[in-house]
């Protein structure tokens, strides 16, 4: 059991994991489903039942500050602010992803209320963005789907929901590209510089947009949030600004990867693509199966709020858990024939969006974007295929995310 992988081997920096994460995850689930990784200071959970149980336990903690000192990987996030990054006092630790109650729900509820309402009526906007990028591909006979399509759609959709002025869209796209580098702990000094510049510009622009919408509300979520604040929602400007940016940072690369992973999977599984084309009403289940089979996010975390037992394993208060969403999504106990990509799968309660109090707030938007993007892409390119039929996928090496570096197709 001693040679079982720890969390550092479960990142794409490990070529074996990068090529096929499931060899290692299956081994862990079979041999030690709640594994203590002493070096990282955490427990690694890979069974679907355990992961779901922890996610839905609303007493669990999330904030890394509450983790024990030994939880070095979990706590690393606390000391990792690069030089030059401007964070106002009221923005400090104000993102809901790593926050606990009661503040988490105080902020999340008005955001969720505004976002869900917007998403419910945003299909025409999403369709328009998808169409514009497909039109932009023009007559090209081969192209990289990531660069020309999957990377482009989510940032433009979020920009429109936030209300970014058209004239600022090119800058916004650049800030978005730079902000994503914040997710990469292995960035070069040049990338850090680009990251800091982008985040500072994005924060300043968000404040500018909020002030403009206070004077003159428009049809966007930035207006919704400042109006909710004026009507009495207990939110500071810093909390609004940080969490509006969180919609971009949390939703951008993840949705890009959902679209990219989906196109890759359909090209590798022509029988499943034929099924979808024959009956486009299967699209909802198809997107759920992509989320299960090739989840864009590897893990999420929780912290034990008291001494307790998880999956038969004793845990002390403040010990940290990494929940392998990818491992849980291929657990044979939850999904018959888990390594088969099957868009007609029934009762497949995947955990790609986490769960419980922190369930991904952007899941309805990610689903909508993927559904619209996939149907439109395969309709536009009925004969699309891999440019090189023997192509080996190049997975990005960003820890805890899984998506393609490039995906070159012929049409």
* Contacting residues toward ligand HEM, per CB under 6 A: 55, 96-97, 108, 246-247, 250-251, 254-255, 258, 296-297, 300, 325, 352-356, 358-362, 365-366
Choose among 246, 176, 164: nearest CA to 213.
164
Alpha carbon distance 30, 98 (integer Å): 30
Mark residue 362 as left, alpha or beta (left: phi above 0; alpha: psi -120 to 50; beta: remaining): alpha
Long-range contacts made by residues 388-394, C-beta under 8 angstroms, separation at least 24? 393/264
CA dist 96 and 89 (Å) reads: 16
Q: Which of 326, 29, 19 is nearest to 5 (CA)?
A: 29
Residue given tokens 């200071």 in the structure block: 41
Q: How far apart are CA 172 and CA 162, in angstroms?
A: 11
For residue 409, the cross-strand partners are 143, 386
**Among residues 163 and 296, whose Cβ is nearest to ligand HEM?**
296
Give the nearer residue to ligand HEM in terms of CB position, either 123 or 385.
123
Q: Do residues 286 and 372 touch, judged by C-beta distance below 8 A?
A: no
CB of 79 to ligand HEM, least distance (A): 21
Phi, then psi, of 404 in degrees rounded to 5:
-90, 140
- The CB-of-350 to ligand HEM minimum distance in angstroms stands at 10
Angle at 80 between CA 84 and CA 21, to 5 degrees: 130
Closest CB to ligand HEM: residue number: 362
Check the CA dihedral 140-145-150-152 and report its sign.
Answer: negative
Closer of 41 and 250 to ligand HEM (Cβ): 250
Smallest gap from Cβ 300 to ligand HEM, in A, equals: 3
Could you give the CA distance from residue 406 to residue 409 in angstroms, rounded to a whole number? 10
- Which C-beta is closer to ligand HEM: that of 178 or that of 260? 260
CB-nearer residue toward ligand HEM: 74 or 300? 300
Nearer to ligand HEM, 149 or 353 (CB): 353
Nearer to ligand HEM, 40 or 262 (CB): 262
Q: Which is nearer to ligand HEM, 12 or 362 (CB)?
A: 362
Q: How far is the CB of 156 from ligand HEM (least distance, A)?
A: 13
Least gap, CB of 304 to ligand HEM (angstroms): 15
Neighbours of 226 (CB within 10 A): 22
Taking the least distance from each CB to ligand HEM, the nearer of 72 and 105 is 105
Least Cβ distance, residue 98 to ligand HEM (angstroms): 7
Question: Least separation, in Å, of the C-beta of 209 and ligand HEM?
Answer: 16
Query: Closest approach of Cβ 326 to ligand HEM, in Å?
Result: 10
Minimum distance from CB of 102 to ligand HEM (Å)? 13
Q: H or E segment at 108? A: helix 103-120
Distance separating alpha carbons of residues 116 and 362, to the nearest angstrom: 8
């Amino acid at each position: 059991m001693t040679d079982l992988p720890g969390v550092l081997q479960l990142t794409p920096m490990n070529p074996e994991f990068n090529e096929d994460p499931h060899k290692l995850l299956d081994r862990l689930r079979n041999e030690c489903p709640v594994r203590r990784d002493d070096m990282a200071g955490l427990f690694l959970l890979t069974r679907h039942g355990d992961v779901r149980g922890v996610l839905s336990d609303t007493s669990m903690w999330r904030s890394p500050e509450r983790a024990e000192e030994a939880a070095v990987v979990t706590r690393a996030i606390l000391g990792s602010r690069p030089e030059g990054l401007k964070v106002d006092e009221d923005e400090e630790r104000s993102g809901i992803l790593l926050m606990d109650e009661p503040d988490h729900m105080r902020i999340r509820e008005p955001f969720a209320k505004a976002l869900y309402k917007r998403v419910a009526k945003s299909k025409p906007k999403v369709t328009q963005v998808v169409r514009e990028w497909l039109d932009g591909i023009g007559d090209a006979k081969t192209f990289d789907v990531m660069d020309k399509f999957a990377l482009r759609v989510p940032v433009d959709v979020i920009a429109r929901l936030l209300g970014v002025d058209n004239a600022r869209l090119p800058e916004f796209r650049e800030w978005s590209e730079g902000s994503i580098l914040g997710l990469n702990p292995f960035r070069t000094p040049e990338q850090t510089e680009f990251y800091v510049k982008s985040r500072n510009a994005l924060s300043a622009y968000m404040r500018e947009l909020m002030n403009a919408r206070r004077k003159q509300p428009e049809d966007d979520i930035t207006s919704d949030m400042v109006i909710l604040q004026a009507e009495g929602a207990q939110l500071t400007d810093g909390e609004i600004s940080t969490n509006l940016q969180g919609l971009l940072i949390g939703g951008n690369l993840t949705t890009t990867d959902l679209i990219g992973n989906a196109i890759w999977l359909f090209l590798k599984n022509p029988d499943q693509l034929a099924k979808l084309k024959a009956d486009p009403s299967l699209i909802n289940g198809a997107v759920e199966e992509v989320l299960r089979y090739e989840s864009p996010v590897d893990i999420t975390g929780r912290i034990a709020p008291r001494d307790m037992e998880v999956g038969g394993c004793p845990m002390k208060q403040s010990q940290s858990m990494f929940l392998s969403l990818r491992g849980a999504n291929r657990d044979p106990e939850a999904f018959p024939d888990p390594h088969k990509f099957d868009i007609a799968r029934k009762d497949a309660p995947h955990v790609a969006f986490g769960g419980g109090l922190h369930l991904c707030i952007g899941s309805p938007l990610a689903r909508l974007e993927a559904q619209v993007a996939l149907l439109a892409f395969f309709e536009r390119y009925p004969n699309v295929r891999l440019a090189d039929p023997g192509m080996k996928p190049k997975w990005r090496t960003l820890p805890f995310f899984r998506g393609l570096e490039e995906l070159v197709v012929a049409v």
